[in-house]
């Protein structure tokens, strides 16, 4: 066959080996990302046998970057970030600063320049959102306050890294790399022009794109064509990213991120996420494969101590920094350990940043290999860190009085103020959870002058409620102490508006033990769980889809009633 099939062979080899080694990694309880990186190593120039086209793989990885960042923007919620802003924003800034300094210190010991050490340290400072989300989902922790803190923390890290990606090219010559404009203008002129271009792009996206993209999705959706809808989503992601790079000199990553963030404003955002997910996943795989192609396995043998130092910064240095910051904000030991384990890895943004550093001549090729080695090892052991949280906490609490004190932090919002009116302490409703469902229930109770106390894990929400004059306590209501502080022993009703079925049973057991005659109202998203809760006679159970069907049915019947 005389045709040039370099593109096809690269994609075929990349996908095929990624499938095999991704499957093997999952079987060994590792992240599939490890398998994808290994697949890239096998078709890269550093290993014998078939070698894929590095230039084509690089371009495919750029598409992967665009779609990855588009997905991050599509799921970026300002509201979720604001709910944990008091710890996520300063925590991410301080932790990234500490990790960057540690990376620079290690690089300096190797004789690297300031610029090389700075890019190297920054690449080690940002954890992988993909790895974190998969770890939380596998442990059913997505709805916990610990998950909200860590996700918010990583969103801030992502935004800071995007800012670094924007500023790095104009600062390249100052850091010892290649000037993007050939050195014809001063660094401050270049930097000012870059920031001006980025600001212009952001303004256009927020003013024009915020109206245009939802309008476009609406009209495409009206055609009823699923193919056209998917095409419009992918075209917007890649087209805006490319246009941002050509017209505003903005990175593909930032352009795609804002495309996703603006598209989130559309009522079709969930459908857009669903339709683009297969393509995002496919090109994300090619991104990790292309990164693996850059890895030099020989560095594990030639510079084992350097690799060990990198892993130490990622797993030990970042974890200790994150843990100390979390404890400094007066969160309990368990939260600090979860945050520490979540951030003890690096991933996609580290690769993007390191790749840009290498292309600008700031980071040596050896630095890229060390970063890849650190990523491989940290991603591989991250599930082990999560599994070790519970036994390590138990051992630490049993060993140290300080750990016991940290485990039971005195939270000023963990108990009701002494000035709380008596009507909230007797015969009240204890409302667990103040999310989308809980807040609506609270509004109805307030409108009908029914006294209630809110039990909510998010301290920021509790603080906000108290400012509004609504009595609330902070903590996980599955722990007896939280319900006791909400005066469950004197309450007339417990309303659980959170969807976690495991915690629900613990809450009910505590409430029944302290007040056997209390009325229980439960919420669930799962039909099987709703049947089990009803079978166990734990209380009145409301299943989301069932209640929706009842409400719609009543409306339809009432509309036809006059005609019958």
Contacts 24+ apart (CB under 8 A), 201-207: 201/244, 201/247, 201/248, 201/250, 201/254, 201/255, 201/258, 202/258, 205/240, 205/258, 205/259, 205/261, 205/262, 206/262
- Where are any strands of DSSP class E within 411-517? 429-432, 452-456, 472-474, 493-496
Tell me the pairing of strands 493-496 and 519-524: parallel
Which strands make up the sheet holding 452-456, listed edge to edge?
Answer: 472-474, 452-456, 429-432, 493-496, 519-524, 540-543
pLDDT band at 124 (very low <50, low <70, confident <90, very high): very high
The 10s digit of each residue's pLDDT in 232-287 is: 888 888 888 888 888 877 777 778 877 887 887 677 777 777 777 788 788 888 88
pLDDT of residue 451: 92
β-pair partners for 431: 454, 495
User: Could you give the CA distance from residue 424 to residue 490 in angstroms, rounded to a whole number?
Assistant: 10
β-pair partners for 455: 432, 473
Alpha helices in 408-493 (DSSP H): 436-447, 459-467, 480-485
CA distances from 531 to 181, 261, 497, 522 (A): 66, 39, 17, 12
pLDDT of residue 444: 92
pLDDT of residue 387: 84
pLDDT of residue 1: 46
- Please tell me whether residue 77 adopts helix, strand or coil conformation: coil
DSSP calls for 212-271: HHHHHHHHHHHTT-HHHHHHHHHHHHHHHHHHHHHHH---HHHHHHHHHHHHTTSTTHHH
Choose among 348, 355, 356: nearest CA to 369: 355
Q: Between 2.60.40.10, 3.40.50.300, 1.20.1530.20, 1.10.260.40, what CATH number should domain 4-396 receive?
A: 1.20.1530.20
How is residue 561 annotated by DSSP?
Answer: G
**Exposure letters 292-320 (e unless 16+ CB within 10 A, then b):** bbbbbbebeeebeebbebbbebbbebbbe
pLDDT band at 142 (very low <50, low <70, confident <90, very high): low
The 10s digit of each residue's pLDDT in 466-511 is: 888 899 998 878 888 888 888 999 999 999 988 666 678 888 888 9
Residue 393 has pLDDT above 50, yes or no: yes
- Asked whether the beta carbons of 124 and 371 are under 8 A apart, the reply is yes
Tell me the pairing of strands 493-496 and 452-456: unpaired
Measured from the Cβ of residue 366, the count of other Cβ atoms closer than 10 Å reads 18
pLDDT of residue 405: 72
Is domain 422-560 classified as CATH 3.40.50.720?
yes
The 10s digit of each residue's pLDDT in 355-367 is: 888 888 899 988 9
The lowest-confidence range among 180-189, 257-266, 532-541 is 180-189
Three-class SS string for 350-377? HHHHHHHHHHCCCCCHHHHHHHHHHHHH
User: Could you give the CA distance from residue 56 to residue 61 in angstroms, rounded to a whole number?
Assistant: 9
Q: Which two tokens stand for residue 75?
A: 């799921």
The 10s digit of each residue's pLDDT in 369-389 is: 899 899 888 887 888 888 888
Residue 409 has pLDDT above 60, yes or no: no
For the chain, the average pLDDT equals 83
How is residue 562 annotated by DSSP?
Answer: G
Residue 529 has pLDDT above 50, yes or no: yes
pLDDT of residue 365: 85
**Cα radius of gyration (the chain):** 26
Mean pLDDT for the stretch of residues 124-138: 78
Task: Out of 10-19, 249-258, 526-535, give the one with best mean pLDDT.
Answer: 10-19
pLDDT band at 185 (very low <50, low <70, confident <90, very high): low
Which bin fits 111, alpha (ψ -120 to 50), beta or left (φ > 0)? left
The torsion angles phi and psi of 472, rounded to 5 degrees, stand at -155, 150
User: How far separated are the first and last CA of the chain, in Å rounded?
Assistant: 73
Percent of the chain with pLDDT over 70: 90
- Asked whether the beta carbons of 484 and 514 are under 8 A apart, the reply is yes
User: Could you give the CA distance from residue 351 to residue 67 in angstroms, rounded to a whole number?
Assistant: 15
289 burial level (CB within 10 Å; 0-12, 13-18, 19+): buried
Residue range(s) of every CATH 3.40.50.720 domain in the chain: 422-560
CA distances from 131 to 84, 307, 386, 495 (A): 20, 21, 12, 35
- Asked whether the beta carbons of 38 and 292 are under 8 A apart, the reply is yes
Task: Out of 6-10, 319-323, 433-437, give the one with best mean pLDDT.
Answer: 319-323
Residue count of the chain: 564
Residue 3 has pLDDT above 60, yes or no: no
Which bin fits 76, alpha (ψ -120 to 50), beta or left (φ > 0)? beta
Residue range(s) of every CATH 1.20.1530.20 domain in the chain: 4-396
Q: Which residues contact 346 (CB under 8 A, 6 or more apart)?
A: 123, 124, 126, 127, 128, 314, 371, 374, 375, 378, 379
pLDDT of residue 190: 66
User: Could you give the CA distance from residue 63 to residue 426 in angstroms, rounded to a whole number?
Assistant: 60
pLDDT of residue 276: 77
User: Could you give the CA distance from residue 454 to residue 115 in angstroms, rounded to a whole number?
Assistant: 51
pLDDT band at 304 (very low <50, low <70, confident <90, very high): very high
Higher pLDDT, 467 or 177: 467
β-pair partners for 429: 452, 493
**Exposure letters 44-75 (e unless 16+ CB within 10 A, then b):** bebbeeeebbeebbeebbbbbbbbbbbbbbbb
């Amino acid at each position: 066959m005389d045709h040039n099939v370099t593109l096809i062979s690269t994609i075929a080899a990349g996908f095929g080996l990624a499938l095999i080694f991704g499957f093997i990694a999952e079987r060994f309880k590792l992240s599939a990302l490890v398998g994808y990186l290994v697949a890239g190593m096998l078709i890269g120039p550093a290993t014998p046998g078939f070698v894929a086209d590095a230039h084509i793989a690089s371009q495919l990885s750029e598409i992967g970057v665009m779609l990855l960042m588009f997905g991050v923007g599509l799921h970026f919620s300002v509201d979720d970030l604001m709910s944990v802003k008091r710890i996520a924003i300063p925590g991410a800034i301080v932790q990234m600063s500490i990790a960057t300094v540690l990376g620079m210190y290690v690089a300096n010991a190797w004789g690297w320049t300031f610029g090389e050490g700075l890019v190297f340290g920054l690449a080690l400072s940002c954890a992988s959102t993909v790895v974190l989300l998969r770890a939380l989902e596998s442990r059913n922790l997505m709805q916990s306050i610990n998950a909200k803190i860590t996700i918010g923390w990583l969103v801030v890290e992502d935004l800071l890294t995007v800012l670094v990606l924007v500023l790095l090219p104009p600062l390249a010559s100052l850091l010892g790399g290649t000037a993007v404009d050939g050195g014809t203008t001063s660094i401050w002129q270049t930097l000012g022009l870059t920031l001006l271009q980025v600001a212009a792009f952001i303004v256009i996206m927020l003013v024009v794109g915020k109206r245009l993209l939802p309008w476009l999705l609406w009209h495409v959706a009206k055609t009823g064509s699923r193919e056209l809808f998917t095409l419009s989503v992918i075209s917007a992601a890649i087209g805006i990213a490319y246009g941002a790079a050509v017209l505003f000199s903005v990175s593909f990553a930032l352009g795609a991120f804002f495309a996703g963030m603006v598209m989130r404003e559309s009522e079709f955002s969930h459908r857009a996420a669903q339709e683009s997910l297969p393509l995002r996943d496919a090109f994300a795989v090619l991104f990790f494969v292309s990164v693996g192609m850059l890895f030099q396995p020989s560095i594990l043998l030639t510079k084992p101590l350097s690799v060990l130092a990198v892993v130490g910064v990622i797993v030990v240095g970042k974890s200790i920094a994150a843990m100390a910051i979390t404890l400094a904000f007066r969160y309990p030991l368990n939260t600090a350990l979860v945050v520490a384990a979540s951030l003890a890895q690096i991933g996609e943004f580290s690769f993007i940043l390191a790749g840009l550093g290498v292309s600008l001549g700031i980071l040596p090729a050896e630095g890229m290999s060390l970063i890849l080695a650190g990523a491989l090892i940290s991603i591989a052991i991250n599930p082990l860190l999560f599994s070790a949280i519970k036994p390590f906490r138990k051992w630490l609490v049993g060993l140290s009085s300080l750990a016991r004190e940290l485990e039971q932090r005195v939270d000023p919002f963990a108990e009701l103020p002494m000035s709380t009116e008596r009507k909230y302490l007797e015969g009240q409703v204890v409302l667990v959870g103040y999310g989308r469902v809980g807040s609506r229930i609270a509004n109805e109770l307030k409108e009908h002058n029914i006294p209630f106390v809110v039990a909510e894990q998010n301290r920021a929400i509790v603080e906000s409620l108290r400012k509004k004059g609504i009595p609330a306590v902070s903590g996980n209501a599955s722990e007896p102490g939280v319900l006791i502080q909400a005066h469950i022993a004197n309450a007339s009703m417990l309303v659980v508006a959170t969807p976690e079925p495991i915690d629900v049973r613990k809450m009910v057991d505590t409430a029944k033990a302290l007040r056997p005659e209390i009325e229980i109202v439960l919420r669930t998203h799962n039909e099987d769980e709703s049947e089990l809760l009803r079978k166990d006679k734990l209380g009145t159970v409301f299943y989301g889809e069932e209640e929706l069907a009842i409400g719609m049915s009543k409306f339809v019947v009432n509309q036809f009633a006059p005609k019958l």
